[in-house]
Amino acid sequence: METALFYFFGAISLIAAINVVVQKRVFYSAISLILCLCAVAALYLMLEAPFIAAVQIIVYAGAIMVLFLFVIMLLDPFSAAILRDKKKSLVYAAVLLGILALATIVPLLNSYNPSRAPRNPISADGGTGTASHFGQILFTEYLLPFEMTSVLILAAIIGVVVLSKRRP
């Protein structure tokens, strides 16, 4: 059952990802990416990370992609001429590069022996992915990085406001 679900959601995410690349209109690309993100969120659920799955749906597929769609509609790509993709030779070179990367990395992956990796015993409080455990680690061990992300977001907010302000 789990195997079937993995292949189902994996196939959906992969097909949606390929559709993002081959689609001519950027609006359909964005919609396809949302489908891909949702399929990956389902995979997160299967990996016993329900909090990450929820954040993926809410923040990624919700907030970030809505921002993308907002800008796409604001710039109105439907009335503009569709941008043709780059030269055919570059496309072939890119696909070749992808195949080359695959051929390089797959043997590396195969040489990694998962059984040698340390496997911690499952804790008694019901898995590692629960929101309470996640929050406990986040607010103790990773408190400083967590606070620093707020500075990062503040910098992003200020940058966006400065960028999009109309110069007098």
Of residues 128 through 167, those in contact with another protein by CB under 8 A are: 128-129, 133-134, 137-138, 142, 145, 149, 152-153, 155-157, 159-160, 163-164
Integer-rounded Cα radius of gyration of the chain:
21
Sketch the per residue contact string, 86 through 125, with another protein: x for CB under 8 A, - otherwise. x---xx-xxx-xx--xx--xx--x----x--xxxxxx---
Choice between 84 and 168, CB closer to another protein: 84
Q: Do the Cβ atoms of 65 and 33 come closer than 8 Å?
A: yes
DSSP 8-class letter at 130: S
Spell out the residues 6+ positions from residue 31 whose beta carbon is closer than 8 angstroms to its own. none
CB 168 → another protein: shortest distance, Å?
Answer: 14
Q: Do the Cβ atoms of 36 and 57 come closer than 8 Å?
A: no
CB 145 → another protein: shortest distance, Å?
Answer: 6
Q: Do the Cβ atoms of 39 and 16 come closer than 8 Å?
A: yes
First-to-final CA distance of the chain = 62
CB 3 → another protein: shortest distance, Å?
Answer: 6
Q: Is 62 in the site for another protein (CB under 8 A)?
A: no
Sketch the per residue contact string, 5 through 34, with another protein: x for CB under 8 A, - otherwise. -x---x--xx--xx-xx----x--xx--x-
